[in-house]
Amino acid sequence: MTNEIKSDGESSQENDLLEPQVERGRSNRKEHGLFKVIISFLGSMELAISLFVIIGIASIIGTILQQNQVYNTYIVKFGPFWFEVFRSLELFDIYSSWWFVILLGFLLVSTATCIYRYAPVIIREWRQFRLNVSSKSLKLMHSTGSWNTETTPNETAQFIQEKLANGGYQSRLKNEEGIITIAAKKGAINRLGYLFTHGAIIVICLSALYDGNFNLKLREAAGQLKPETRDLFASQVPDISRLKADENHAFRGNANVPEGSTTGLVFLQMRNGFLVQELPFTITLNDFRIEHYNTGMPKSFESDIVIEDIESGEKISKTIEVNHPLFYKDFAIYQSSFDDGGSIMDLQAWSLDDSKQKVVSFQQVVGQNKLMETSQGEFKLELTEFKALNVQPNPKAEETGRKFKNMGPSLTFRLRDSSGQAKEFINYANPTTQEGRYFFLSGVRSTTTEPFRYLFIPADDSASLKRFFGFRSLLSNPEEMKRIAEKTAAMSLPSTGVPDPKRIAQMAVVMQRLAELFNQGGFDLVLNDINEKVPEDKRKDVQDSYFKVLQTILGTVYLEVLQGENIDISKNITPAQEQYYDDLVNTMGVISKYNAPFFLQIKSFEHKEASGFQITKAPGKDLVYLGCTLLCIGIVLMFYVANKRIWVIISPSTEGQGAQLLVAGSGDRHQKEFAKEFQALSQLLDKQYTTH
C-alpha cells in the first residue's frame, strides 16, 4: 500500500496534507468507462453545490407562493393563463411535485456516490497509523523538529511512546533494521464524522420519502386513484377516491368530529382534491373544551376521545390536547383545530318592518340555512358561527380593576337577499352594560373587511326586548296612533279657554305624521321633511316646535307602553324608566340605518362543538430521528474532534549508543491548536535531549 504523505505545494495551508485525495479514493476501485464518468459526475462537489442551490431556490418559491390553496384563489390571482402554466409546473404543490422529488432523489444519489467513493479512504484514515513515512516527508511538514539523544533508540522510543500516551495519542511502532518509526494518532474518529453526516442525509431522505405520499402519486399516475374535487359527504365519495385501512402505509389526514359523534375516516388532501382514508379504529368525541386566559386568549384546547379498535373491539379513552397527542399503534392523533359541531339555537326574529309587527320563534342549527319570508322579500338566513365566550379588553379597566370582560355568547350570521347580496351580523345573547344600563348588541357590516357597526337596543326591566318592540309596534299601528295623537293633542293645548276641536284635530294630524316619520327614519327624516317644506328663515322655529310636539307624543306612547306592562304611571316614573325612554328614542332614531328586516334574538342554545383531529401514520419517523442523531454526532466529530498525527523516526547515531530523533506532525483542520501542542512536545524533548 502506498500511503505517501506528500506536502501539497499548491495549497498555502497545510490542511490538505491529510485530506482524502479524490485520486486516491478513486484508484482504490476498479471503475471503467461510462461508469467512471457517471460516478464522477454524481459524486462531484459541483453537482452537490448546484443541488443545494437549486433545492434552496425551489423551496423559496414554495414559501412565497402559498401552497395548496383552493384553485379558484390562484385563478383570481394569476389569471387563467398563468394559472395553467403554474399548475402544469406543479407550483401549487411544489414539495410533492415530481420534479422536486427528483431533485431530492439526485441529492440522495449524489450523497450516496460520495460515500461510495470516500468511504474506503475515510475508513483507512481512521484505522491506520501509517507507519510508512520517510524522513524526507516528515521534514517537509509544518511542525517538525529533530534532537540527539544519549539514550538508545529503544529507550528513546519507550520514553516517547509514554509521553505520547500522556498526551492522549495512540501509537504504533515499527523497527526496520534498527530504524524505529512511531506513528501516533489522536481524534482519528473525526474521519468517521464524514460517514455519519452523509449517511444521515441518506437515512433521513429515504425515511422521509417513505413517509410521504409518493406511493399515492404513483397510483394516481397509474389510474388506480383519483382525488375527489367535489364537495361531497364522505359516504358519497366513489371507490376510486377511497383507501382501505390496510392500503396505505403512511398518511397524514384530517377529521372533524362533532361532540357525541364517531368517525372512522380521515380526509387526505391531494392538490385541490381529497382522498378518503379508512381507519382500523373509530374515534368518538365525548367532549371538547376550550379554556381561556382572562385576556380572552385561548389557553388550552382539549378533547375527550374514545378509540375503539374495529377488529378487537378494544377501547381506549384519553384526553388529547395541543402538544399532547395520543399515540395508538402506528397512529398518532392530534388536536389540530376546532369548529362548531352544529350548535342548536333557539331564536326569535322581531320584525323591524314598521307596517307589520310580528315575532317568529324557531330553532336552527349552526352551519345550516333557512329561508325567511319578510315584508322586504325572501331572505336566506345562514348561521355561520357560534361562540360561547367573548372575552374582550375592558375599556374601563381603570375603574373596575378588571382588564377584560366576557361579552357572553355570540352568533354570527348572514342575511342573503334574493339577488345574492349578503350582510353579516353578529348578535350577542346577553345584554351588555353601558354606563350601568343594559343593551342588546348587534353588529352589522356589508363586507367582511369592514368593521362591525353596532346597534344598541335597550333591555327593559325584565332584561327583555318586549318594551322596545312594544313601543315600535304601537308606533306602527295607525289606529292606535290616531287615538293617542288625539288624546295628546287635547291635553297639550293650553288649558285656558275653550278647547277648539278644529285645532285639536289639526294638532293630532301633525303629531301622528311626525310620529310616523320618526318611526320610519328617526329624527333625520323629520329634519329632512322640515327642510323640504319650510323656507330657510323659519326652519329654526319650526324645528323647535316640531321636536317639542314629537317628544310629547312619543312620551305619551311610552307611557301607554308602560301601562300595558301594568306599571302604575299615576305616580312619577322612575329615573330608570326615564333613562330607558331616552335610550329608546335614541335607538329608534338610528334603527333605520340598521336596515335589516328583523332583529334576531338568541333565546337559548345548546352548544355543540366539533374537534378537528389530525391523524397520521409515519412509520419512518424513528428512522428519521436515528438519522438526525447520526447527523448531530457526525457534525460534532467533524468540527470538534481534532484529527492529529505525530510521527517519530529514531535512527541510531553513527557514533556512540545514542540516537537521532526526528519528530513531525500535523493537525489536519486544527493546525493552530496542533502547533501549540507540538510546541509543548518540543519543550519536553528539549529538556530531555539536545537539539539537533
Partner 1 sequence: MSTTGQEMNNLFEKQSFWRQLGSFDWVWAIGLVLASGYAWQQYSSLMDVYEVGILFGTVISLIAWGWLWKPVRAYTIAVALLSLFSIYLYGDDLALGETNFFLKFLISSKSSIMWMSALYVLATVAYFIGLFIGSEFSNKTASAMTWSATVMGLVGLLVRWRESYLIHVDVGHIPVSNLYEVFILFSIITALLYLYYEGKNKNYNMGGFVLLVISSAVAFLLWYGFGSRGASEIQPLVPALQSYWMKIHVPANFVGYGAFALAAMLAVAYLIKDSMTKSGRNGAIINRIPDLEILDDVMYKSIALGFAFFTLATILGAMWAAEAWGGYWSWDPKETWALIVWLNYAAWLHLRLTKGWRGRPLAWWSVIGLFITLFAFIGVNMFLSGLHSYGEL
In whole angstroms, give the CA distance from residue 193 to residue 598.
74
Shortest distance in whole angstroms from residue 239 CB to partner 1: 27
Q: Which stretch binds partner 1 (CB under 8 A): 64-72, 274-282, 420-428, 652-660?
A: 64-72
Q: For residue 63, state whether it binds partner 1 (rule: CB under 8 A).
A: yes
Q: Which of 91, 94, 107, 585 binds ligand HEM (CB under 6 A)?
A: 107
Task: Report residue 685 CA to chain centroid gap.
Answer: 64
Task: Report residue 161 CA to chain centroid gap.
Answer: 61
Q: Which of 171, 197, 213, 364 binds ligand HEM (CB under 6 A)?
A: 197
Quick one: angle between helices 466-475 and 501-533, nearest 10?
A: 100
Q: For residue 644, state whether it binds ligand HEM (rule: CB under 6 A).
A: no
Q: For residue 638, state whether it binds ligand HEM (rule: CB under 6 A).
A: yes
Count Cβ neighbours within 10 Å for each residue of 659-673 and write b for 16 or more, e otherwise: bbbbbbbbbbbbbee
HSE at residue 161, side-chain half, CA atoms within 13 A, is 16
Among candidates 312, 251, 310, which has minimal Cα distance to 276?
Answer: 251
* Length of the chain measured in residues: 692
Q: For residue 490, state whether it binds ligand HEM (rule: CB under 6 A).
A: no
Which residue number, 198 or 608, has a Cβ lying nearer to ligand HEM? Answer: 198
How many Cβ atoms sit within 10 Å of the Cβ of residue 61?
13
Residue 56 binds what, of ligand HEM, partner 1, none (CB under 5 to 8 Å, by partner type)? partner 1
Q: Which of 5, 14, 20, 211 binds ligand HEM (CB under 6 A)?
A: 20
Q: For residue 114, state whether it binds ligand HEM (rule: CB under 6 A).
A: yes
Count Cβ neighbours within 10 Å for each residue of 300-332 and write b for 16 or more, e otherwise: ebbbbbebbeeeeeeeeeeebeeeebbebeebb
Residue 496: which region, alpha, beta or left (left: phi > 0; alpha: psi -120 to 50)?
A: beta
Q: Cell triple for residue 599? A: 332583529
Residue 440 binds what, of ligand HEM, partner 1, none (CB under 5 to 8 Å, by partner type)? none
| Binders in 307-346 for partner 1, by CB under 8 A | 321-325, 332, 334, 336
Which residue number, 75 or 119, has a Cβ lying nearer to ligand HEM? Answer: 119
Q: Which of 186, 198, 467, 644 binds ligand HEM (CB under 6 A)?
A: 198
In whole angstroms, give the CA distance from residue 672 to residue 314.
65
Residue 680 binds what, of partner 1, ligand HEM, none (CB under 5 to 8 Å, by partner type)? partner 1
Shortest distance in whole angstroms from residue 71 CB to partner 1: 19
Q: Which of 11, 27, 28, 45 binds ligand HEM (CB under 6 A)?
A: 45
HSE at residue 139, side-chain half, CA atoms within 13 A, is 6
Q: Let me know how many helices (H) and strands (E) the chain has, helices first.
A: 17, 27
Q: Which of 74, 194, 440, 518 binds ligand HEM (CB under 6 A)?
A: 194
Residue type, 502: K
Task: Report residue 477 CA to chain centroid gap.
Answer: 55
How many Cβ atoms sit within 10 Å of the Cβ of residue 560?
18
Q: Which of 7, 155, 167, 529 binds partner 1 (CB under 8 A)?
A: 167
Q: For residue 632, state whether it binds ligand HEM (rule: CB under 6 A).
A: no
User: β-pairing, 326-328 with 331-340?
Assistant: antiparallel
Residue 67 binds what, of ligand HEM, partner 1, none (CB under 5 to 8 Å, by partner type)? partner 1
Which residue number, 89 or 576, has a Cβ lying nearer to partner 1? Answer: 89
In whole angstroms, give the CA distance from residue 250 to residue 198.
25
DSSP 599: E
Q: Which of 74, 83, 104, 111 binds ligand HEM (CB under 6 A)?
A: 111
Q: Cell triple for residue 354? A: 314598521
Q: For residue 38, state whether it binds ligand HEM (rule: CB under 6 A).
A: no
Q: Cell triple for residue 510? A: 301633525
Which residue number, 175 or 295, has a Cβ lying nearer to partner 1? Answer: 295
Shortest distance in whole angstroms from residue 586 CB to partner 1: 34
Q: For residue 280, state whether it binds partner 1 (rule: CB under 8 A).
A: no
Q: For residue 208, state whether it binds partner 1 (rule: CB under 8 A).
A: yes
Q: For residue 37, state whether it binds partner 1 (rule: CB under 8 A).
A: no
Which residue number, 115 or 684, has a Cβ lying nearer to partner 1? Answer: 684
Q: For residue 353, state whether it binds partner 1 (rule: CB under 8 A).
A: no
Q: Which of 49, 189, 221, 240 binds partner 1 (CB under 8 A)?
A: 49
Helix (H) / strand (E) containing 307:
strand 298-309
Q: Which stretch binds partner 1 (CB under 8 A): 51-59, 272-280, 358-366, 556-564?
A: 51-59
In whole angstroms, give the CA distance from residue 59 to residue 68.
14
Contact map string, positions 201 to 220, toward ligand HEM, x by CB under 6 A: x-------------------
Residue 576 binds what, of ligand HEM, partner 1, none (CB under 5 to 8 Å, by partner type)? none
Q: Which of 244, 632, 691, 692 binds partner 1 (CB under 8 A)?
A: 632
Name the β-bridge partners of 455.
442
Q: Which of 37, 45, 221, 397 binds partner 1 (CB under 8 A)?
A: 45
Q: Which of 239, 680, 686, 690 binds partner 1 (CB under 8 A)?
A: 680
Helix (H) / strand (E) containing 501:
helix 501-533
> Is residue 665 classed as helix, strand or coil in its secondary structure?
strand
How many Cβ atoms sit within 10 Å of the Cβ of residue 635?
14
DSSP-derived secondary structure for 240-297? GGEE-TTS-SSEEEEEEEETT-EEEEEEEEETTEEEEEEEEEEEEEEEEEEEE-TTS-
DSSP-derived secondary structure for 41-78? HHT-HHHHHHHHHHHHHHHHHHHHS--S--HHHHHHHH
Residue 111 binds what, of partner 1, ligand HEM, none (CB under 5 to 8 Å, by partner type)? ligand HEM
Q: For residue 166, state whether it binds partner 1 (rule: CB under 8 A).
A: yes
Phi–psi pair at 616, nearest 5 degrees: -130, 155
Q: Cell triple for residue 101? A: 422529488
Residue 675 makes CB contacts below 8 A (sequence gap 6+) with 142, 143, 667
Among candidates 675, 650, 653, 662, which has minimal Cα distance to 146?
Answer: 662
Count of positions on this chain that bind partner 1 (CB under 8 A):
64
User: β-pairing, 170-176 with 179-186?
Assistant: antiparallel
CB 358 within 8 A of CB 342: no
Which residue number, 65 or 131, has a Cβ lying nearer to partner 1? Answer: 65
Q: Kindly list the distances between the CA atom of residue 288 and the CA atoms of 123, 338, 409, in Å, as whole numbers in the listed order.
A: 57, 9, 17
Q: For residue 666, state whether it binds ligand HEM (rule: CB under 6 A).
A: no
Which residue number, 121 or 216, has a Cβ lying nearer to ligand HEM? Answer: 121
Q: For residue 163, state whether it binds partner 1 (rule: CB under 8 A).
A: yes
Residue number of the CB atom closest to ligand HEM = 114
Which residue number, 53 or 680, has a Cβ lying nearer to ligand HEM? Answer: 53
Residues that bind ligand HEM in the complex, under the rule CB under 6 A: 19-20, 43-45, 48, 107, 110-111, 114, 118, 194, 197-198, 201, 635, 638-639
Residues that bind partner 1 in the complex, under the rule CB under 8 A: 11, 13, 15-16, 45, 48-49, 52-53, 55-56, 59-60, 62-64, 66-67, 95, 163-164, 166-168, 208, 252, 293-295, 297-301, 321-325, 332, 334, 336, 614-616, 618, 621, 624-625, 628, 631-632, 635-636, 639-640, 669, 672, 677, 680-681, 683-684, 687
